[in-house]
Amino acid sequence: MRFAHPEWLWLLACAPLLTFAFVWSFAHRRKLLARLGSSELIQRMSESVSVPRKVLRAIYVTLAAVLLVLAIARPQAGGRARLQHQRGLDIVVALDFSKSMLAKDIYPSRLERAKRELESLMDNLAGDRIGLVAFAGETLTYPPTTDYAAVKLFWRDLTPSDMPVGGTAVGRALRASLDLLVRLREKGGQTRSQVILLLTDGEDTDSEPLELAAEAAKLGVKIFAVGIGSPSGELIPNIGEDGQMDGYLKDSEGKYVTSRLAEPLLTELGRRTEGGYLRADARHFGVEAIQNTLDAQKRTDNEARLVKQYDEAFEYLLLPAFLLLVGEACVNERRRRRAA
C-alpha cells in the first residue's frame, strides 16, 4: 500500500479539530439554553432531542471526512511491473545568479521571475530529463533527472549571495552544462537530443562563451538563450546581510552600476549551435515560445526501465464516505412524540 499524493495526509490532523468543534458546539448550545431560565421548561422544550443521535451524526461526518482525505491522497496497492521507454530530451537549464539578476526592470526581479517561469515550464514537461546549472563567477550543478519536484527545490531559495564567486561567467556555465550532457552520453545506450537553455542578462565578464558554443555545435548540442532585462540598462539593488534592499550598487568611483542586456552575444550563441534567441521583457517573458521551441525538437527513446504500475484504491473509500454522509442526513435528531 502506498499513497500517490502523501502530502495531503496532513489534513488528517483536522479530524481531532472537527471532533473538538462538535463537542464545543454541544456545550455552547447547552450554555445558551441554560440562560433561558427555568430548567424544567428547558427540559420540556428539549426532551424530543436525542443526544445519542446528535453524537451519531457527528461520528458519521468525522469518519466521512477522514475517508475523503485518504481518498484525495490516492491510495494504491498491488500493481505490476513493465518495461517502459521514455521519449524526451536531455535539457540543462543554466540560470544566471549574478547580482545583476536582482534588477527590477522585470517584476518582482529578473531572477525571481525566471524561477517562476521555469517552474511553469517544468509543469508541462513529461519524460524529459532536466539538469540545472546555477552560475555567477562559478557554477553549482544538479544532474539531469525526471524528478521535477527535486529540481524545483534545488534553486527555490538560492540567491546571488549563496554563490561562491560573483560576476557573470557565461562560458563557465556552458562548460558545466556540456559536462552534464557528456556524462549522460558516456553512460551508454541511445542518446537523446540535447539542449542547453541559458537564461541570463548576457553581460559576460571573464569567460569565453563563443568558444564553448563552437564545442557544443560539434557535439550536436543546441543552445537556446533567453535574454532577461532591458537593453537600456537598470540599476542593481544592493542587498544587505539581513536580506533587505539597501540602496543600489556603486562602483569604486561612487557611480551607480547599471545592468544592460547583451543581446548580440546571446544571439550569436544561438546561431552558432542552430539554436535560437528569445527575449524576455516586463510584459512577456516568453515561456510559451520556449515551450514551443522545445516541442519542435526531435524526441528519441531512452533506455528502457522497469516501471511499476499500481492499482488505484481511492474509489473504495469514496463509496463508504458517501454512505456515511447520506446516513448523517437521514438521522433525525428529534424523537417522535407519543400520542397522548
273-308 pLDDT, tens digit each: 999 898 887 677 766 777 787 777 766 655 545 456
Predicted local confidence at residue 173, as pLDDT: 93
H, E, C per residue of the chain: CEECCHHHHHHHHHHHHHHHHHHHHHHHHHHHHHCCCCHHHHHHHHCCECHHHHHHHHHHHHHHHHHHHHHHCCEEEEEEEEEECCEECEEEEEEECCHHHHCCCCCCCHHHHHHHHHHHHHCCCCCCEEEEEEECCCEEEEEEECCHHHHHHHHHCCCHHHCCCCCCCHHHHHHHHHHHHHHHHHCCCCCCCEEEEEEECCCCCCCCHHHHHHHHHHHCCEEEEEEECCCCCEECEEECCCCCEEEECECCCCCECEECCCHHHHHHHHHHCCCEEEEECCCCCCHHHHHHHHHCCCCEECCCEEEEEEEECCHHHHHHHHHHHHHHHHCCCECCCCCC
Domain match, 43 and 96 both: no
What's the CA gap between 301 and 291, in Å, rounded?
Answer: 20
Q: Is 209 among the domain residues?
A: yes
Of the candidate ranges 212-216, 256-260, 285-289, the one whose mean pLDDT is the lowest: 285-289
Residue 339 has pLDDT above 60, yes or no: no
Q: Is 337 among the domain residues?
A: no
Predicted local confidence at residue 340, as pLDDT: 44
Q: Is 293 among the domain residues?
A: yes
Radius of gyration of the chain (CA): 30
Q: Is 336 among the domain residues?
A: no
pLDDT in tens, 52-98: 888 888 888 999 999 999 999 888 877 666 655 556 788 999 999 98
Predicted local confidence at residue 7, as pLDDT: 83
Q: Is 340 among the domain residues?
A: no
Q: Is 69 among the domain residues?
A: yes
Domain match, 242 and 317 both: no
Residue 106: count other Cβ atoms within 10 Å of its Cβ: 23
Domain match, 168 and 265 both: yes
Domain match, 48 and 171 both: no
What's the average model confidence in pLDDT over 39-61? 75
Domain match, 56 and 161 both: no
| 36 confidence band (pLDDT: 50, 70, 90) | low
Average pLDDT, the chain: 81
- CATH code: domain of residue 91: 3.40.50.410
Give the total number of structural domains in the chain.
2
Q: What is the pTM of this model?
A: 0.62
What's the CA gap between 220 and 243, in Å, rounded?
Answer: 42
Domain match, 148 and 16 both: no
Domain match, 292 and 203 both: yes
Predicted local confidence at residue 240, as pLDDT: 65
What's the CA gap between 320 and 312, in Å, rounded?
Answer: 16
Domain match, 107 and 189 both: yes
Q: Is 335 among the domain residues?
A: no
Domain match, 11 and 98 both: no
- Tell me which residue range forms the domain holding 313: 2-80+309-330
Q: In the chain, pLDDT over 70 holds for what percent of residues?
A: 82
Domain match, 295 and 187 both: yes
Q: Is 339 among the domain residues?
A: no
Domain match, 18 and 156 both: no
List C-alpha distances in Å: 242 to 83, 101, 161, 197, 239: 51, 19, 11, 32, 8
**Cell numbers of 240, please?**
544587505
Domain match, 9 and 117 both: no
Predicted local confidence at residue 44, as pLDDT: 67
| 190 confidence band (pLDDT: 50, 70, 90) | low
